[in-house]
Structure 1
């Protein structure tokens, strides 16, 4: 097939199908009928000599060929879009664009309410999709345009196509049930090592930053169990003498009813940067710039509130 005879709109259909994994949803996003999208998919299959998508329950799963094509097609379309957008006026209160933001769980609990409030105030006709993500998968999701941006703790992937800006920092502290004898006196290294610990691990296997620091010291703590989320900490610790490490941002989700005391760890733990990540090609996109500014403002305010909570919170114990 001659290149001049190819309908380049087919590539946009492919890009949306990759993101949505559903013909009906893709049709809604594209403003077309389901049959029109199915017809375009037939042309794409003929063009690339591959099924590209196969039905799996209620979704369409990409084939290896589609996955291979997705990065290049998404990058090409994003480059064209960014070029056009540089010469377009982005008006937040008029846009109907769908924005996708990736967050880890405890940052979601703190940021989502403020993000939705500001987002609705400035862009009442737009749609905000907040999606759970992890440090391991976020780079791929940004590069394949499944996320417009993501907020990740301690991100360490090195990719020239990802732009990172630091929006804050978290310190690791020890979380303990407020009624535990462990909080009756300073948490020494001896008492810390004698205690039983809970490790927060999304995959249930990864060791924590504290374990790495202890190993360098020739020491080891006893981890009795792992849990996948910060948000269940109050229920896991209540009535026990367990210790878990958590980022001090959890301060903004706790109150006296949580029955959680926070105290400084008896080992030196480095602070962890909170990174806002976007695709390099979208750095000049007015809509992405607007969303980035919105999030940076929320985190600046959050940092102020976190420092105030550390200084004044009656439920915080300093070791």
Structure 2
């Protein structure tokens, strides 16, 4: 048999000599190494996940490189970055492994109480504020031996995070284009409200359309440029608000609003975390604005995975519970 030699050289690229490693030589565990590496981007963490040594993972990567005649992963500091070829292979390899896993799982029962599986959920900071406390409690209660990673996932990055297996699923209120490779579960809708400092004139006098248009607005935008649903509603009415600044997340909202007359829009899920100490008051906007749809996204071929079915049910139940609590809060505040 002709030998395949993978030459490690200095510099950003390596050269791979053409060889004769064929499909019959393939060990299925090599594909598992590839799949986990795409998630972890680390030889050390991949070894820990698979219960193998780092040298064994490095050896497997060498075999994968020979098989696909590509570097597949290149080191950038402490991160193993996938090459374009690796990204191209991901959906096919992940899909194949999912099919095999599903075939086996049909004859087994997924038990959250005993599983040691790792789950990764992508959340925006808005959904993290609303969901993480209850999600962590419920996850630990039902799956005490499993692990859960909460990964930041902004609207502009969510599809890539799903395609590249950086997350198993992602919760978003962003307008995400339809993708045949991504399954979408509609959970419900959030109403857009206006948030102001509780000591502001607006909080004391009420918010009219004239006051709204005259005020200085903060736009919460992950990319700093995207317009919001409020701007769409205003444009349809031939109006425009005065946006003086953008902020990238909800977490700093109380400190940004405090002592100002600024107005910003936020989903009504924020009602769950506001208290008197936040000094944030929410009021209804003086114009009709479309609600924000909340969706759970995951790869299509993972939608039938028993573990993912369990996780999506847990997230759906938490969302339903938060919606009921939110309705009670809104009734009490007459919003």
If the TM-score is normalised by the length of the shorter chain, which range does it land in? over 0.9
Instruction: Please give the alpha-carbon distance, in whole angstroms, between the structure 2 residues aligned to 1:285 and 1:6.
Output: 25
Among 54, 58, 72, the alignment partner of 1:52 is: 72
Among 295, 303, 320, the alignment partner of 1:283 is: 303
Q: Is it true that 1:5 corresponds to 2:25 in the alignment?
A: yes
Q: Is it true that 1:294 corresponds to 2:305 in the alignment?
A: no
TM-score by length of 1: 0.94
- The answer on whether the counterparts of 2:155 and 2:172 sit within 8 Å (CA) in structure 1 is yes
Instruction: Please give the alpha-carbon distance, in whole angstroms, between the structure 1 residues aligned to 2:251 and 2:119.
Output: 25
Q: Is it true that 1:165 corresponds to 2:178 in the alignment?
A: no
Instruction: Please give the alpha-carbon distance, in whole angstroms, between the structure 1 residues aligned to 2:62 and 2:78.
Output: 19
Instruction: Please give the alpha-carbon distance, in whole angstroms, between the structure 2 residues aligned to 1:84 and 1:143.
Output: 23
Change (3 A) 1:139 1:61: same
The answer for unaligned runs of 5 or more in structure 2 is 1-20
Q: CA deviation at 1:280?
A: 2.0
Q: Aligned-residue CA RMSD in angstroms? A: 1.5
Instruction: Please give the alpha-carbon distance, in whole angstroms, between the structure 2 residues aligned to 1:276 and 1:141.
Output: 13
1:123 is matched with: 143
2:279 is matched with: 259
1:188 is matched with: 208
Q: CA deviation at 1:218?
A: 1.8
Task: Could you list the structure 1 runs, at least 4 aligned residues long, displaced by more than 3 angstroms after superposition.
Answer: none
Alignment of 1:30-179 (within 5 A): 30-179=50-199
How many aligned residue pairs are there? 315
Q: Is it true that 1:228 corresponds to 2:248 in the alignment?
A: yes
Deviations 1:128-184 (A, max 9, x none): 111110222222322333222111114432112322222221111111111111123
Instruction: Please give the alpha-carbon distance, in whole angstroms, between the structure 2 residues aligned to 1:160 and 1:70.
Output: 16
2:294 is matched with: 274
Instruction: Please give the alpha-carbon distance, in whole angstroms, between the structure 1 residues aligned to 2:165 and 2:256.
Output: 37
Instruction: Please give the alpha-carbon distance, in whole angstroms, between the structure 2 residues aligned to 1:285 and 1:46.
Output: 31
Instruction: Please give the alpha-carbon distance, in whole angstroms, between the structure 2 residues aligned to 1:141 and 1:223.
Output: 30
Q: CA deviation at 1:99?
A: 0.7
Q: Is it true that 1:250 corresponds to 2:250 in the alignment?
A: no
Instruction: Please give the alpha-carbon distance, in whole angstroms, between the structure 2 residues aligned to 1:159 and 1:49.
Output: 29
- The answer on whether the counterparts of 1:155 and 1:275 sit within 8 Å (CA) in structure 2 is no
Change (3 A) 1:60 1:144: closer
Instruction: Please give the alpha-carbon distance, in whole angstroms, between the structure 1 residues aligned to 2:155 and 2:330.
Output: 27
Q: Is it true that 1:19 corresponds to 2:49 in the alignment?
A: no
Change (3 A) 1:225 1:216: same
What's the secondary structure of 2:252's corresponding residue?
helix
